Amino acid sequence: MTIDPKSYAGYLQLETLLASQKPVSAAVGRPAHDEHLFIIVHQVYELWFKQVLYELDRVEAIFAGPWVEDRDVAAAAAGLARVVEILKLGVRQIDLLETMTPLDFLDFRDLLFTGSGFQSLQFREIEVRLGLKRENRLRFDDQPFEHRLIEPEQTRIRDVEARPSLFDMVEAWLGRVPFLETAGWQFQEAYRSAVTAGVREEIARISDNPTLGDRQREGQVAALEEELGRFEALFSSSPKDRATPAPGWRMARGAVLAALFINLYRDEPALQVPFRFLSHIMDIDETLTTWRFRHAQMVERMIGRKVGTGGSSGHSYLNRTVEQHRIFSDLFALATFLMPRAARPDLPEALRRRMALAYAPVNGQDGAPDARSA
Ligand code: HEM
């Protein structure tokens, strides 16, 4: 049968798509009803993974150059917002797969042999392109993680690893944010003293709190001192240090401070889009983490404590990836060092003007009532 390429079926290549579900259980003469759902769910994931990678192509193209056009950051943020919605759908799909019971799964699980989501090249590519580094991955045997993929895929994943990830590009972009200092004012100094004073006040409050026992008091003070130490480690006057991470952080000091600055002063017009962009990155990290957690729970429900078909310890391995495989946790840690708007150090007026919207006069007339010069 020839299909008209201009028809619905032709345009969508439905002949190929809908002929691509081939339950093995039926082929070996012991049809298991739920294998059809199992195949479709996995295929739909792979299609969405393809779209995620496609969106990442555009975001990477925007961030790959030596500078990033402001107007392009909004396009990148829109791409990431779409990725977030796809990942949320991925989390929801687990509910659908769970309409298959463990007993239904057992009807065909033995036919999967060593096949496992572990071998999803596109999933691995998403992880790597977002910025999951080899050295931060959980090890469960002596083999490199890509060993589970077939040969051409191993090469592909190593090639992708050799390129800068979204994490690397965002770190470099944050490192170039221009507003962190202006004549006679440096964000790092103004904010450092404000946070230090705030934490010292909190320590004093805890020390004077009569409702706390000695051990509780000491514990809370020690935790705050530790956080303060982590914060202090971000500061260094040497430009070389600013390009490297402080102990306990993954992102370079300068990039972390810029992200903090964007979070604190996000109401300024020039920072609104960068703030949205960073928020979507956090949404991606959080939704991927939620997926890992839901997938691990689903796996426990389906196979209990059995080892996986891919050879890992199964649920226990997956559970540990939930925290360990987070990529942008530095951005989440920043909330520890935020302070109420009223307590923020004021920005110098000249800097606020630089970050304001500026309207050019039209036909020699100043058309905007609140026009400012940048
Ligand atoms: C009955 C349903 C499922 C079961 C029992 C299951 C089981 C497992 C197990 C045990 C692992 C650990 C590796 C191994 O030893 O095999 C794993 C990994 C994985 N699975 Fe599933 N899975 C199921 C459905 C899915 C679905 C629908 C997807 C969607 C693509 C998926 C994607 C993955 C991925 C990407 C990994 C690698 C995770 C990582 O290494 O961080 N799985 N799965």
DSSP codes joined into one string, 75-143: HHHHHHHHHHHHHHHHHHHHHHHTTS-HHHHHTTGGGGTT--GGG-HHHHHHHHHHT--GGGSPPSSSS
Domain assignment present for residue 102? The answer is yes
Q: Residue-wise pLDDT tens for the chain (374 aa)?
A: 677 888 999 999 999 999 999 999 999 999 999 999 999 999 999 999 999 999 999 999 999 988 898 889 999 999 999 999 999 999 999 999 999 999 999 999 999 877 788 899 999 999 999 999 999 999 877 788 888 899 999 999 999 999 999 999 999 999 998 888 888 888 988 899 888 888 888 999 999 999 999 999 999 999 999 989 989 999 877 888 889 999 989 999 999 999 999 999 999 999 999 999 999 999 999 999 999 999 999 999 999 988 887 778 888 999 999 999 999 999 999 998 888 898 889 999 999 999 988 777 766 555 444 434 33
Residue 109 lies in a domain: yes
Q: Is 11 part of any domain?
A: no
Residue 188 placed within a domain: yes
For ligand 1, atom 12: residue with the closest CA:
314
Which residues does ligand 1 sit against, CB inside 6 Å? 41-42, 45, 97, 105, 116-118, 120, 123, 295, 299, 302-303, 308-312, 314, 317-318, 321
The CATH number given to whatever domain includes residue 140 is: 1.20.58.480
Partners of 362 in the β-ladder: 365
- The alpha carbon of 51 and the centre of ligand 1 are apart by a number of angstroms equal to 20
How many domains does the chain contain in total?
1
In a domain, 364, yes or no: no
Contact 317, 308 (CB under 8 A): yes
Residue 171 has a CB neighbour count (10 Å cut-off) of 23
- Given the CA of residue 311, which atom of ligand 1 is nearest to it? 15
Write a three-state SS string for 251-283. CEHHHHHHHHHHHHCCCCHHHHHHHHHHHHHHH
Q: Is residue 236 part of a domain?
A: yes
Domain coverage including residue 285 = 17-354
Q: At what angle do helices 166-175 and 269-303 cross, to 10 degrees?
A: 160
CA 298 to ligand 1 center in whole angstroms = 9
Q: Which of 160, 171, 170 is nearest to 133 (CA)?
A: 160
Task: Confirm whether 79 is domain-assigned.
Answer: yes
- 362 is a domain residue: no
Decide if 265 contacts 354 (C-beta within 8 A): no
Residue nearest to atom 4 of ligand 1 (CA): 299
